[in-house]
Structures are given as structure tokens and as C-alpha cells.
Structure 1
Amino acid sequence: MDDIDRKILALLQEDATLSTAEIAEKVGLSTTPCWRRIQSLESEGFITKRVAIVDREKVNVPLDVFIAIKTNQHNIDWFGKFSKAIDEYDEVVEFYRMSGEVDYLMRVVVPDMAAFDTFYKRLISSVELSDVNSSFAMERIKYTTAVPLDYMMDSPTPRRRRR
């Protein structure tokens, strides 16, 4: 992994629709070596998927709900049932097992409070939970799917972006 690979990753994180020729021009390579690098980044698992980011307002799921879940069930059978249930809910866009006070945290996107109430009732009927706490985002201040690339093993010390 060198600076050119990092530049390619940064460009693709910003716009995965760029052609290989456009990326090659921006990183100072000819098309074929750039294409090989992109193929290598994919085969080595640095690029796991290329997706389109949909405008949530236009598809009517503008509301973010963060759900903190506690359970007194800490066994593999319960976890399997819970994970399988969560897989069935398209509204769940992120799902994490946590350390600390909360066992699981998920982010759900829905059109409105009524849709969330329907989701909530389905959730609590699908598996035994000891506590469910929901918080509604009032405003999205920062959102990105891009991850920082300055922490890679052969990168220099991470730099703070100047504002």
C-alpha cells in the first residue's frame, strides 16, 4: 500500500462512479496500471463493495432512530435468534454488539414515528429483551461512508484536517 493506492481509495470512497481513466489521471498513472491497482485493492479486500447512496428523503425514510438494547440473555442460542430477527428488518441499517452498559446498539431508518412504533412492536415480539431505549436524531450534522486512510500501517502519523 503506497500513497497512490491511498489516493485511489480516497477517490473511490468519494465517488465510485469515476472511470478508471478519470482515477488514473487524478493519481498520475496511465489507465492500465491504475486498473491493476484497483483490481488488487479489491482482491486484497481493501474495497469490499461499490454502492450507490440513496437520498433518504426521496425514498421516505428520513428519521434516524438509535436503539440501545439490554438483555439478560447471553447465550449463543438467544444471540442466533436475535441476529436472525434483525436480518429480517430492512429498517435496521447498522447493528453492533457493544461493551459497557448497553449490549446492542442499532440505527434504524423509518418515515415517521408511526412507522417506528410498528417496527418497535415487531422487534419486541421477536425476541426477549430486558430494556429498549430509543433516541431520535433531530438533525444529521455529519454523515459519511468514507473511512480515514491515514491510520494504515505504513502511513505517516495521522494529520488533523485544517479548518
Structure 2
Amino acid sequence: MTSNLDEFDRKILTELQRNADLPLETLGQRIGLSRNACWRRIRSLEAAGVIRARVALLDPARIGLPLTVFMQIRAALHDADWLDKFARATRALPEVQGVYRMSGDLDYLIRAQVADMADYDRLYQTLIARVPMGDVSASFVMEEIKHSTELPLSRA
């Protein structure tokens, strides 16, 4: 679908990434389309999987989860069974916000949001109890300089 995005689609997606609650009237005025044309395009973008979901972004600190941690994982094994167990375990932990298989020295990178060091330790203990690990290290975010969910559509 990305190769089929026209300028109106890009404008719609840019606006929705900034505010998914934008009324169709306002969206149409901002991009130069009618309300109905915007609605049809949004439905088409959803059907094509370009728009995966519309969500509310919460402030982690205001809900008691101010500490962001990146866990660097080296797998204990490199087989399908271990990967399946690891994937199931990380998907089941709500603190885990992202899991990425990496190139280079580490095998996986986990991004998690926790209340404090004790909460991180609980997460760590839970994870290693569910899946054997080769090595786990963690880095804690001291200052968030930039965090965005908005994808650059000028290149799409």
C-alpha cells in the first residue's frame, strides 16, 4: 500500500498521527477534502493495514511508570523452541513495550516501562524464570530527549 499513498493519504496520515480524534470536518478543512472523502480514505487505509490502530498515548510518569529500561538479551539457545518460549513470555508481560531481534553482538533488545528499580527487578526475575537466558544487562533512561510515534511520511 505504501507505494499507492498519494498526497492526500500522506496528509491524512500525518494529521491522524498527531491527533487520531480529529473530527472529520476539521481534517477535511486542513487537507482540502470533503468529510466523506476523508472518511472513505481512512477506511481504505485501515482495510489495507496502513492504519493498524487508533490509540491514546499515556504519560508513563503520571500513571506511576516513570522508569524506561532497555534490556539487552543474549539467548541461551538459538533454536525455534527457545524463540517461541521467549516470544510468548515477553508478549505476556504488560511492562514490556517492545521486543526486537537485533543484528550485532546482542540477540534481543527489550524496551520496558516500570515504576522503579524494584519493579524492574521483579520483571527481570519473572522473565528469567520463564525463559533461560545466556546474558541479560539493562540500561535505564535518565533523560528522554525525543520520543515520537509519528512516522515520517515525506519519504513514503
State the TM-score, normalizing by the size of structure 2.
0.94
1:67 aligns with 2:71: yes
Q: State the partner residue of 1:160.
A: none
RMSD over equivalenced CA pairs, Å = 0.9
1:8 aligns with 2:4: no
Conservation of the 8 A alpha-carbon contact between 2:76 and 2:135? no
What's the CA shift string for 1:125-151, capped at 9, x where partnerless? 111111101000000000011111122
Please give the alpha-carbon distance, in whole angstroms, between the structure 1 residues aligned to 2:101 and 2:24: 38
Q: State the partner residue of 2:39.
A: 35
What amino acid is aligned across from residue 137 of structure 2 in structure 1?
A: N
The one of 92, 98, 104 aligned to 1:94:
98
**Percent of aligned positions with the same letter in both sequences?**
45
1:77 aligns with 2:81: yes
What's the CA shift string for 1:48-91, capped at 9, x where partnerless? 10000012112100100000100241111111111111111111
Unmatched tracts of structure 2, length 5 or more: none
Please give the alpha-carbon distance, in whole angstroms, between the structure 1 residues aligned to 2:83 and 2:23: 42
More helix by share: 2
The one of 119, 125, 129 aligned to 1:125:
129
Please give the alpha-carbon distance, in whole angstroms, between the structure 2 residues aligned to 1:39 and 1:87: 28
Residue 121 of structure 1 and its aligned partner are, at CA, apart by 1.0
What's the CA shift string for 1:1-42, capped at 9, x where partnerless? 211110000000000000111100100111111111111111
The one of 113, 138, 141 aligned to 1:134:
138
What amino acid is aligned across from residue 146 of structure 1 in structure 2?
A: E
Residue 119 of structure 1 and its aligned partner are, at CA, apart by 1.0
Moved over 3 A (4+): none
Q: State the partner residue of 1:113.
A: 117
What amino acid is aligned across from residue 97 of structure 2 in structure 1?
A: V
DSSP-derived class of the 1:130 partner = strand
Unmatched tracts of structure 1, length 5 or more: 153-163
Please give the alpha-carbon distance, in whole angstroms, between the structure 1 residues aligned to 2:81 and 2:75: 13
Q: State the partner residue of 1:148.
A: 152
What is the number of equivalent residue pairs in this alignment? 152
